[in-house]
Amino acid sequence: MPQSPTTITDEIGIALGNLADAAAAPFTPTLRLGVTGLSRAGKTIFITALIHNLLTGGRLPGFAALTEGRFIGARLAEHPDAGIPRFAYEQHLAALTGKDPHWPDSTRKISQLRLTLKFQSKRWVSGMFGPTVLNLDIVDYPGEWLLDLPLLSLSFAEWSEQALKRAALPHSQAEAAAFLSEIAQTDSSKEATDVDAERLATAFTDYLRRSREDGRALSTLPPGRFLLPGDLEGSPALTFAPLPPSVGPVRSSSLYAMLERRYEAYKAIVVRPFFRDHFARLDRQVVLVDTLRALNAGPAAVADLETALTDILSCFRQGDNNPITRLVARRIDRILFAATKADHIHSSSHDRLEAVMNRLVADAARKARFAGAETRSMAIAAIRATRESVIEEAGEKHEVIVGTPQAGEVLDGRTYDGKTEIALFPGDLPEHPDSLFEDGRPVALNFLRFQPPQRLEKNAEGNVVLPHIRFDRALDYLIGDWLR
């Protein structure tokens, strides 16, 4: 029987948290934007670009409040929750714009940052009283944590069954072989020992880690904290693994019972507090997806990504918000599915990338709309690392992207040094995305990671301008209606 993701105590805590938010700034509304994505999807880059563009009035022709001259400006503000780390905006921007530009470190823990936005409202009543102020709270958290939310509705037996089925699939054999061998040699009915629990947990973690590598790019493999343990590394709550069904009654002293208790402890100590204190209090959500990486890894990775997105989005508290209900029960009323790294393919394929994204989230998007939430898919690059060009070869013209591959990237037997700029034909995405799922045919992409732009323009005020692809449209969709 599926378990409820929240208890009555959780719901009371969520309501009290929302009331506390309202009391902290009674005359200034607050919009809480959650930013997440699966591994290497570009969460840190997205948030850094969002903050920088709002602070400096970047080149955002699709951001209506700015182009209409109503956006007055933004400033960094102290976040009211002193117990949550602040998003390291200044350090990340320095990494991108310093003498040796490089991509900042990826998200490894939850962080927040508050921007106070000032604008002139188009609404007659609001406009009469001068500029309007809005607090924008940006909540950043690892996508691996998002993968854990479905566990709240699964018992240990149900999760074990799912995990072991995935491990036994043909495309998982290489990564899961050592772990499955350990399971086969384990009698889960014997007396529990920490040595056995640690042995199984280590084998399971190794399997999870190998499954996330570039050649596999699998996504639906919780628990997420096994790969980002932080202060919990080595704790009993992170020392368990899935087991086959127990034969006969389960003794409380057995290995099966020990791992079941630790699984429940993981949900109670790690997953439920994250859902209650952070995830359930969001108004908007952007889900960043490295779709190209999955396409490059093959059909199994694409199908796995579809399953991951569907499972994750089923945990979102979706629905329409109004000023009264937001006081106690926030709902995510807009979700943006963003296929990142659109600069890694030519613009002629951007519409196809969006079509693939739409296909991946079709089921989840339908459920969100039924619940009253809006959804949209876009192909974006929060910071554009390449430019486009045309080259001629043997009398034929080819549309290419031009950029500097990161050091260690390999293509056609050549390893790049991180300094050499190249022109690359990245390949074409299929015209009909259903072929990726129905035929299972791999997509022939020349996929490389590129260095961030090495030479950036500055605006009249001397602020760095970050080039992008459709980032202005993404920003307008996420917060534009609040700035009217």
Question: How confident is the model at residue 5, as a pLDDT?
Answer: 56
pLDDT at 11 over 60: no
Report the distance separating Cα 201 and Cα 337, nearest Å: 33
**Alpha helices, DSSP H only, in 25-88?**
43-56, 64-67
Q: What is the mean pLDDT of residues 155-164?
A: 95
With cut-offs at 50, 70 and 90, classify the pLDDT of residue 92.
very high
How far is Cα of residue 448 from the mean position of the Cα atoms in its chain? 20
- 212-237 pLDDT tens trace: 775 455 566 788 888 878 778 889 99
Question: How confident is the model at residue 180, as a pLDDT?
Answer: 96
- Tell me the angle at which helices 255-266 and 194-211 cross, rounded to the nearest 10 degrees: 50
With cut-offs at 50, 70 and 90, classify the pLDDT of residue 197.
very high
Higher-scoring residue by pLDDT: 299, 341: 341
- 351-381 pLDDT tens trace: 999 999 998 888 888 888 888 889 999 999 9
Residues 6+ apart with CB under 8 A from 351: 379
- 287-297 pLDDT tens trace: 999 888 888 87
**Range picked from 5-14, 120-129, 168-177, 192-201 for highest mean pLDDT:** 192-201
Strands of 284-289's sheet in order across: 71-77, 111-119, 132-140, 30-37, 284-289, 334-339, 374-379
Report the distance separating Cα 275 and Cα 308, nearest Å: 17
Higher-scoring residue by pLDDT: 443, 73: 73
Question: How confident is the model at residue 2, as a pLDDT?
Answer: 44
Give the CATH number of domain 8-141+278-384+468-483.
3.40.50.300
The overall average pLDDT reported for the chain is 86
pLDDT at 242 over 60: yes
Report the distance separating Cα 366 and Cα 87, nearest Å: 33
Extents of the domains making up the chain = 8-141+278-384+468-483, 149-270, 387-438
- From 26-40, 138-152, 320-334, the region with the lowest mean pLDDT: 320-334
Rounded alpha-carbon distances, angstroms, from residue 314 to 124, 219, 371, 378: 39, 16, 11, 20
With cut-offs at 50, 70 and 90, classify the pLDDT of residue 88.
very high
pLDDT at 20 over 70: no
Q: Please report the DSSP string for 260-286 in residue order.
A: HHHHHHHIIIIIHHHHHHTGGG-SEEE
Report the distance separating Cα 293 and Cα 288, nearest Å: 12
